Amino acid sequence: MEKLPKIGIPVIILLMLAVVIIAKSAVTIDSGEAGVLFETFGDGVVTDEPPMGEGFHIVAPWNKVFIYEVRQQEIVENMQVLSSNGLDIKLEASAWFQPDISNLGNLHQQKGQNYVSRVLQPAIRSAARSVVGRYTPEQLYSSKRDAIQIEILEETQNIVSDQFVQLNEILIRDVTLPLTIKDAIERKLKQEQESLEYEFRLVTASKEAEKVIIEAKGKAESNRILSASLTDKILQDKGIDATIKLSESPNSKVIVIGSGDAGLPLILGNN
């Protein structure tokens, strides 16, 4: 094997050194991510410039780039908190969050890449304990869950408002009460439902009775007016009209033999 020319060895070394430098200098930031630049021989973390965006970047090999996910993320918190009357409540909640991209340098400098466990989780737990402590187990189990969810969100947002974290939503996934308390609440809710159903039936029956009374009063008033308007002459005329109709019926034979009371004809027989 022929020996390399003396000039070839330095070239190879330079090429290898260039490859190493390029490899150390090249940074690729994926979609949904951003980079924070740390200048080793400068002022450290760059906080006065926007973070590095997606794509390929070349930086000095002695500098570093810390990459953060800036899309919305989710964490699930399982907490044990106390209700207003001191009972243990198990609460499962989801938090939707993302770093404040405009302050990503400050977040890295002051909180670091573990900002979720250092800032967000303690804030959620503190807010949840504060909010749940205002409510009874019955309110937590039934009617107040939406209100509790909103209050926990608002209190957590207040806590992290200056911590370079953007909290988008808090979702209460589950509330677990002691079994005896849960059974007692369910029995009470069932009794309340049955009571409401019974009251509804009573109201319906009362309205139906009122309707019958009103109809009866209307009929009685109608009969009274009709009776007051009938005279002997009107009755006699109606009797004559009825007798004529009977005599004209093809299914009847009517014999009139004189007149009855009030001058009305008498019907003696028919077939």
Tens digit of pLDDT for each residue in 187-199? 666 665 656 666 7
b/e for 159-171, b at 16 or more Cβ within 10 A?
bbeebbbbbeebe
pLDDT per residue over 4-30, tens digit each?
Answer: 555 666 666 666 665 556 666 788 999
Q: Residue range 119-126: average pLDDT? A: 95
Q: Kindly give, in sequence order, each residue whose CB lies less than 8 Å from that of residue 246, ignoring residues fewer than 6 positions away.
A: 252, 254, 267, 270
In the predicted model, is pLDDT for residue 257 greater than 50?
no
Q: Residue range 214-224: average pLDDT? A: 76
- Rounded Cα–Cα distance for residues 106 and 45 (Å): 8
**Pick from 45, 94, 36, 39: which is nearest to 70 by CA?**
36
Confidence of residue 164 (pLDDT cuts 50, 70, 90): very high
Provide the pLDDT for residue 35: 94
Confidence of residue 36 (pLDDT cuts 50, 70, 90): very high
- Rounded Cα–Cα distance for residues 39 and 43 (Å): 6
pLDDT per residue over 239-251, tens digit each?
Answer: 666 666 666 666 6
Provide the pLDDT for residue 140: 76
Alpha-carbon distances of 94 from 115, 127, 128, 222, 250, rounded to whole Å: 17, 13, 12, 70, 90
| Helix H or strand E encompassing 74 | strand 73-82
Provide the pLDDT for residue 1: 45
Provide the pLDDT for residue 220: 76
In the predicted model, is pLDDT for residue 63 greater than 50?
yes
φ/ψ (deg, to 5) at 167: -95, 120
In the predicted model, is pLDDT for residue 266 greater than 60?
no
Provide the pLDDT for residue 18: 58
Share of the chain above pLDDT 90, in %: 36
In the predicted model, is pLDDT for residue 260 greater than 60?
no
Q: Residue range 127-148: average pLDDT? A: 83
